[in-house]
Amino acid sequence: MLHKTYLAQTINRLTNGQQRGDEYLEQLQAEMTGAVLVQGDPEYDVARRGWNLNVDQHPAVIALVQSAADVVAAVRYARQTGLGIAIQSTGHGVARAADDALLIVTAGLRNVQIDEGMATARVEAGAVWGDVLAKAQRAGLAPLLGSSPNVGVMGYTLGGGMGWLARKYGMALDSVLAFEVVTPDGRLVRASARENSELFWGLRGGGGALGIVTAMEINLYPVTTVYGGNLFYPASLAKAVLTRYRDWVQTLPDAMTTSVVLMNYPPIPAIPEPLRGQTMVIVRGCYAGDVAEGQRLIDEWRTWRAPQIDAFGVMPFSEVASISMDPVDPMPSQHTGAWLSGLSDDAIAALVRGGVPQDGPLPLVFIELRHAGGAIARHDSGAFSHRDGVFNLFINGVTPTPEARAAFTQHTDAIKAHLQPVMTGGVYLNFLAGEEVQQRTQAGFSAEAYARLIALKAALDPTNRLAYSYDIRPA
């Protein structure tokens, strides 16, 4: 009974030696439809793993919830035993390892219902965006997913959610109508503009620090065909492309959401020729409107310089994942970012120096600048802040070892030091990973929003039981 011993030790430590963990654990298992796992159970090692393999967490208990009632039971158990609560859907965005905590895994809560007439969806907490996209597209509708359909709907939305329709319709959290949420004291409530409106405000940006969302209702939009894709230019044109991109985005209508990427394709068989092992500068985007107008905007690039590879064209929105071609399989991923107020010539030079290899490989895979503005800037929902940022910087690396992680951090810190004059000081928390999420939580919000969040946190979660998400400490 290795797992019982481990559990008893953990709970004894966390509850000052009170011998009551096993009794409550049995009660939890009896109440839950889903499984409860502790170390030693055969499924424990699979269940504790997330998409990001850099996270190696050892929860005291894992609750594989299958209903809102299971979540209520799990939260009661955490309160009885004194355990902290961590929440995981896919593990794409783990802020802090759930060591010695109760890990609530929502992957079994995956139901998606579309209301075609109302153009809305009710989405359970463990769904991934691909689930919603497939069902919504059958009804001629689109959700505000991001670059990867494998990312979970909930972590993505609670942190913001910037996808290929963002300039037209806003961040994903701007389209939330209501949340069903279990509060840290174990009540299942609804949060919307009319019910528990302060919690509704806080969840939209403050996310997993305030409650365990079991489902949400969102607006969908009539998008079925877009003009989207990538123009690949050689790395030798990196400076020229970034400079042209800076000027071009100022002319764009809100229907066009774009980014520019300095991409170092790894020399591995999974990457097709002629990209394998190459560095490219990519203009990437999605025009949600009259495709002829989308083509006209992209033709401006084709006329400027013919791209080495032209993969921009008319496409069904159901294939939006082909724009970013994000990795699907779990991997050790590290990322960081910052909001930028614009791009100076010096900033462009720093990005090219940091993102295009000069003498040997770099400790990063890509630097992406996503163009914001449009509906992102016009909306004002929730605690989410920094809507005036012009570019959202996202830097990604594959970091399987501590040395690789250290090299990534050193290199990206140096890039950010050079970008200081164009950095607003704000960060987009969804584009940070690991420790940096907690270290920089405050920079994710305006001073006013952060003050309001810590007051809300004090009312909802005074002992900070939900301490494994953003670092929002009770006021």
Interface residues with ligand FAD (CB under 6 A) are 50, 87-95, 106, 125, 146-148, 151-152, 154-156, 158-163, 207-208, 212-213, 326, 333, 430, 469
If the CB atoms of residues 10 and 259 are measured against ligand FAD, the closer one turns out to be 259
| CB-nearer residue toward ligand FAD: 202 or 294 | 202
Q: Please report how close the Cβ of residue 97 comes to ligand FAD at its closest, in angstroms.
A: 10
Q: How far is the CB of 2 from ligand FAD (least distance, A)?
A: 27
φ, ψ (nearest 5 deg) of residue 93:
-135, 45
Q: How far is the CB of 206 from ligand FAD (least distance, A)?
A: 10
For ligand FAD, which is the closer residue by CB, 91 or 373?
A: 91
Smallest gap from Cβ 64 to ligand FAD, in A, equals 13
**Choice between 22 and 326, CB closer to ligand FAD:** 326
Closest distance to ligand FAD from the beta carbon of 116 (Å): 25
User: Least distance from C-beta 152 to ligand FAD, angstroms?
Assistant: 3
Give me the least distance between CB of 386 and ligand FAD, in Å please. Answer: 13
Three-class secondary structure of residue 180 per DSSP = strand
Interatomic CA distance for residues 448 and 302, integer angstroms: 45
Integer CA distances (angstroms), 146 to 82, 154, 286, 389, 458, in order: 36, 12, 12, 18, 32
For residues 137 and 119, the answer to whether their CB atoms sit within 8 Å is no
Angle value at C-alpha 250, between 249 and 256, nearest 5 degrees: 45
Q: Which amino acid is at 8?
A: A
By beta-carbon proximity to ligand FAD, the closer residue of 21 and 368 is: 368
Name the residue among 355, 363, 361 with its Cα closest to residue 402. 363
Report the nearest approach of ligand FAD to the CB of residue 96 (Å): 8
* Strand pairing category for 309-316 and 225-234: antiparallel
Pick from 46, 50, 82, 44: which is nearest to 62 by CA? 44
Of 157 and 409, nearer to ligand FAD (C-beta) is 157
In order, the DSSP letters of 259-303 are EEEEEE--SSTTSPTTTTT-EEEEEEEEE-S-HHHHHHHHHHHHH
**Closer residue to ligand FAD in complex, CB, 170/363:** 170
Report the chain's terminal Cα–Cα distance, integer Å: 42
DSSP 222: -
Which C-beta is closer to ligand FAD: that of 21 or that of 143? 143
Q: Which residues contact 35 (CB under 8 A, 6 or more apart)?
A: 29, 43, 64
